[in-house]
Amino acid sequence: MATPASTNLAAALEQKLTDRTARTGVIGLGYVGLPLAVELARAGFTAVGLDLDARKVNLINKGESYIPDVPTHEVAEFSKAGRLSASTDAGVLRTVDTINICVPTPLRKTKDPDLSYVVSAVEMVAAHLRPGHLVILESTTYPGTTDEVVRPILEKGGLVAGRDFYLAFSPERVDPGNPHFTTRNVPKVVGGTTPTCTRLAKALYSASIETVIEVSSTRVAEMVKLLENTFRAVNIGLVNELALMCDRLGLSVWEVVDAAATKPFGFMPFYPGPGLGGHCIPIDPFYLSWKVKEVGFEARFIELAGHVNGAMPHHVVDKVADALNSQSKAIRGSKLLVLGIAYKKDIDDVRESPALDIMAVLEQKGGKVEYHDPYVAHLDSRDWPAAKEMDSVALTDAALAAADCIVIVTNHGTFDYDRIVKHAKLVVDTRNAVKKPAAHVFKLGAPA
């Protein structure tokens, strides 16, 4: 129940949000956190970022961006104006009025949620929590996390959510590399622990984001994000399976999908690929299937899609083997050049990238694997199953000609595909990047 004191706290924070005098804090300065901090600074707030990575912190404080979607000139402008800064010291959390938590939520090898980053961040917040704070979790997670995990940690010190401080969940909806939809113009879903929490979270986001959608609870907001990404994962699983069917039937799945997409209603085109990558789509459906097991429900449809998508890197390797076989070669001993190891085009993020699994399996089968990616100059041994350091090789005509097979895994816009086809002995295209047919080009989901 609201008390006069709690009403005054809420009114004071709401006034700060309205007149842009609130100091905002963002924990985690990656693909989600840095764009959010920049938008808050653009709206007139003072934005303070917190990250354990000193390199990121130093770059921001020097006015430099390390994320392609955030122009350096914007970071420099807001940093110079004193509206954007970063720190590795959690003590800065006591100086801010709002705290957005934007940390990773990966899966363990057993496919159950790893909330260690969230718990660590929330414990830092709890150590500096004061009356009037607004805390918003943005990290994708299962329904119930805010109420069952975050809230108890924050309330250990005696402050109560909805009375002494305000707690909400708002799922991040960032699409790295998308020039049309950014943090500012993608609608923001918000659900609070109480109606006051929701109202205050909406007031924060409304200052910097064009559209804010209120939902009735944190659990609904958490479920919204899982539905969005499960929808994509299931439909990609369907079209990946269709690609394997078309391969057997001697059809091109790319032609089939493009033709079906001409129907103006009842169909949405999804395209096959070498597997799922990134920090959301390969992971989020498993958060949901894990959670519903607690209530005795088996998400068979979701898990089947995960199985289909998870097997795609092996199908790509089979395609490489078939292509090499057409020239009386085997994977073992062949020189293989993988083009693109980021999980999607025109970004530098390799998290969960199917290219890493493809490269690892090719290595296991005795292939001599190299890669070229204009966005990923170095591949750390910790980032992929083969656990070896690699550097991107120069994409020269000689390098293309020297490879026994070129494998296009990520269709970066900077690649000159005509040049690649011209100089390559053999090409396996997993993204339909090569538009002109050629005898030495083999496509995923299409006949040789």
Residue in 102, 197, 246, 280 annotated catalytic? 280
pLDDT exceeds cutoff 90 at 110:
no
Co-location of 90 and 19 in the same domain: yes
Co-location of 85 and 51 in the same domain: yes
Domain end residue (candidates: 172, 188, 216)? 216
Helix, strand, coil proportions of the chain in percent (round to 5)? 40, 15, 45
User: 300 or 281: which carries more pLDDT confidence?
Assistant: 300
Tokens coding 448:
């040789």
Mean predicted confidence (pLDDT) in 279-301: 84
Co-location of 306 and 204 in the same domain: no
CA distance 194 to 205: 17
Co-location of 293 and 202 in the same domain: no
pLDDT exceeds cutoff 90 at 26:
yes
For the whole prediction, is pTM greater than 0.85?
yes
Give SS3 for 304.
Answer: helix
Give the other-Cβ count within 10 Å of 5's Cβ. 11
Domain end residue (candidates: 169, 186, 216)? 216
225 part of a folded domain: no
The per-residue DSSP string of 361-417 comes to: HHHHTT-EEEEE-TT-SEE-GGGSTT---EEPPP--HHHHHH-SEEEE-S--TT--H
Number of H helices, E strands in the chain: 15, 15
329: domain CATH number?
Answer: 3.40.50.720
The answer to whether the CB of 151 falls within 8 A of the CB of 168 is no
Domain count of the fold of the chain: 2
The answer to whether the CB of 146 falls within 8 A of the CB of 169 is yes
Amino acid at position 65, single letter: S
CA distance 376 to 347: 9
At 3, the pLDDT band (50, 70, 90 cuts) reads low
29 part of a folded domain: yes
Q: What is the pLDDT of residue 289?
A: 87
Give SS3 for 246.
Answer: helix
Co-location of 123 and 164 in the same domain: yes
229 part of a folded domain: no
pLDDT exceeds cutoff 70 at 5:
no
Q: What are phi and psi of 235, to 5 degrees?
A: -70, -35
Query: Which DSSP letter does residue 70 get?
Result: S
38 part of a folded domain: yes
Co-location of 89 and 197 in the same domain: yes
Domain end residue (candidates: 188, 216, 244)? 216
| Range 249-258, long-range pairs (CB < 8 A, 24+ positions) | 250/447, 251/446, 251/447, 252/443, 252/445, 252/446, 252/447, 253/445, 253/446, 254/432, 254/443, 254/445, 254/446
Tokens coding 331:
């994977």
At 332, the pLDDT band (50, 70, 90 cuts) reads very high
User: How are strands ordered across the β-sheet holding 166-169?
Assistant: 84-87, 46-50, 23-27, 98-101, 134-137, 166-169, 188-192, 212-214
252 part of a folded domain: yes
User: 420 or 107: which carries more pLDDT confidence?
Assistant: 420
For the chain, percent of residues with pLDDT exceeding 90:
85
pLDDT exceeds cutoff 80 at 274:
yes
CA distance 344 to 410: 6
Co-location of 315 and 207 in the same domain: no
Q: What is the pLDDT of residue 178?
A: 86
For the chain, percent of residues with pLDDT exceeding 70:
99
Give SS3 for 123.
Answer: helix
pLDDT exceeds cutoff 70 at 318:
yes
Mean predicted confidence (pLDDT) in 69-86: 96
Co-location of 47 and 80 in the same domain: yes
Active site residue 405: no
Q: What is the pLDDT of residue 316?
A: 97
Work out the angle at residue 243's Cα, subtended by the Cα atoms of residues 242 and 247, and round it to the nearest 5 degrees: 115
CA distance 181 to 174: 8
- Using alpha carbons, select from 26, 289, 282 the residue that is nearest to residue 143: 289
16 part of a folded domain: yes
pLDDT exceeds cutoff 80 at 215:
yes
Co-location of 173 and 251 in the same domain: no
Mean predicted confidence (pLDDT) in 285-310: 88
CA atoms within 13 A on the CB side of 123: 6
Co-location of 124 and 196 in the same domain: yes
337 part of a folded domain: yes
Residue 435's alpha-carbon distances to 38, 255, 317, in angstroms, are 39, 11, 21
Of the chain, the end-to-end C-alpha distance in Å amounts to 69
At 6, the pLDDT band (50, 70, 90 cuts) reads low
Q: What is the pLDDT of residue 295?
A: 87
CA distance 239 to 243: 6
Mean predicted confidence (pLDDT) in 350-369: 95
Give SS3 for 26.
Answer: strand
Please say whether the dihedral angle defined by the alpha carbons of residues 80, 83, 85 and 91, taken in this order, is positive or negative.
positive
Give the other-Cβ count within 10 Å of 436's Cβ. 8
Co-location of 183 and 256 in the same domain: no
Co-location of 135 and 189 in the same domain: yes
Mean predicted confidence (pLDDT) in 238-251: 96
Q: What is the pLDDT of residue 82?
A: 96
Out of 11-25, 110-124, 250-264, pick the least confident: 110-124
User: 298 or 5: which carries more pLDDT confidence?
Assistant: 298
pLDDT exceeds cutoff 70 at 59:
yes
Mean pLDDT of the chain: 94
222 part of a folded domain: no
Give the other-Cβ count within 10 Å of 437's Cβ. 10
At 4, the pLDDT band (50, 70, 90 cuts) reads low
Tokens coding 265:
């209603």
Domain that residue 408 falls in: 236-443
Q: What is the pLDDT of residue 288?
A: 84
Query: Which DSSP letter does residue 148 get?
Result: I
pLDDT in tens, 114-167: 999 999 999 999 999 999 999 999 999 999 999 999 999 999 999 999 999 999
Give SS3 for 214.
Answer: strand
